[in-house]
Structure 1
Amino acid sequence: MSALVCVARIGAAHGVRGAVKLWTFTEDPFAVRHYGPLLSKDGKRQFEVAQAREAKDHLVATFKGVTTRDEAERLNGIELYVAREKLPATDEDEYYHTDLIGLAAVTTDGDALGRVLAIHNFGAGDIIEIAPLKGPTMLLPFTNAVVPEVDLAGGRVVIALPQEIEGEIEGEDEGNVPSASRPRENGDP
């Protein structure tokens, strides 16, 4: 079976007739109606959207076979997936997260850096998470400047590591820290 892609998450029950709030992760929120049965993450449960209407920042949807509020409440939090091959092709410079996860990450010089663990979006843009060969996990902006090349066929992403880490000021060292930044010891004013 091909990789599964998360396309929606079921939220709280809405009303008394089995409707739920449905947050979709597709460009067209109503596309979830056209992929056929949606699967739970483990693939053991199937859900088919019977009806959907737009609400403020989500859809209000009903699923076939879910007719009461109690049944709808038990679905809260379930993520819904479809097989990767059911999704439309992407445009150039667009990628499904599942296509990137697991790719090798290399520097612009071609040195091995690690593997792509995940793609996150906390509201300010996509973040690529790299598990390096050594050291802590790296979270980097998924921008053209930091990720200048994605080579799906070659199984790799090229990472241009930022030059400045943790806001260090050039020329500043332990003996040359401005006095306003020095930590105070007990009794210092």
Structure 2
Amino acid sequence: MAAPICVARIGAAHGVRGAVKLWPFTEDPLAVMDYGPLTTKDGARQFEVTHARPAKDHLVATLKGVATRADAERLNGIELYVAREKLPATDEDEYYHADLIGLAAVNAANEPIGRVLAIHNFGAGDIIEIAPPSGPTLLLPFTNAVVPTVDLAGGRVVIELPQEIEGDDVPTIT
């Protein structure tokens, strides 16, 4: 069975009636209501979002059984998960981060480069982080030119390392 996928994080309490700020990690923020009860990563606790409305950069949500501000404050920081099989299928050339993390990274000759450590997005597009066997991690653009092949069934991504990255001259320190 696949590891559960984190779809949201509970934030600070909102108001006095038990509402919380909810930070969804789904493409459609309100989709967190479509998966049924959400759980903690270990499955020990379960939460049902009964109502949610968009706010500036998060949702304001009501959780079943959370009726007071004190109850809501105790939930701050809890990550909410859903079983991988409950998520919708992806389109071609579209992947869940969780499906990529841990894959082997190889070059075109199938020689090992490392493992996919994370996928980041700092606002200018997705970045794939590769952890080589030794040395610093590699941060590369997650584009078709740099990552021409994602082979989920084979457990690998093919990386075409750029020969030179324009503007990456190393300054001389004197």
- TM-score > 0.5 by shorter chain: yes
1:153: how far off?
A: 1.3
The one-character-per-residue Cα deviations of 1:98-129 (angstroms, maximum 9, x if unpaired) are: 11111110012221111111112222221111
CA RMSD for the aligned pairs?
1.8
Q: How far apart are the structure 2 equivalents of 1:132 and 1:21? A: 38
Q: How far apart are the structure 1 equivalents of 2:164 and 2:141? A: 14
2:134 paired residue number: 134
2:14 paired residue number: 14
SS at match of 2:20: strand
TM-score (norm 2): 0.92
2:107 paired residue number: 107
**Larger Rg, first or second structure (1 or 2):** 1
Of all paired residues, the percent bearing the same amino acid is: 78
SS at match of 2:98: helix
- Which amino acid in structure 2 is aligned with residue 94 of structure 1? E
SS at match of 2:72: helix
Query: Where do 1:42-53 residues align within 5 Å?
Result: 42-53=42-53
* Structure 1 gaps, min length 5: 170-176, 184-189
User: Does 2:68 correspond to 1:79?
Assistant: no
Q: How far apart are the structure 1 equivalents of 2:21 and 2:134? A: 42
User: Does 2:40 correspond to 1:40?
Assistant: yes
* Structure 2 gaps, min length 5: none
1:168 paired residue number: 169
User: Does 2:54 correspond to 1:54?
Assistant: yes
Query: Where do 1:147-166 residues align within 5 Å?
Result: 147-164=147-164
2:26 paired residue number: 26
The range that moved more, 128-137 or 98-107, is 128-137
SS at match of 1:12: strand
Q: CA distance change for structure 1 residues 126 and 182 in 2, over 3 Å: closer, same or farther? A: closer
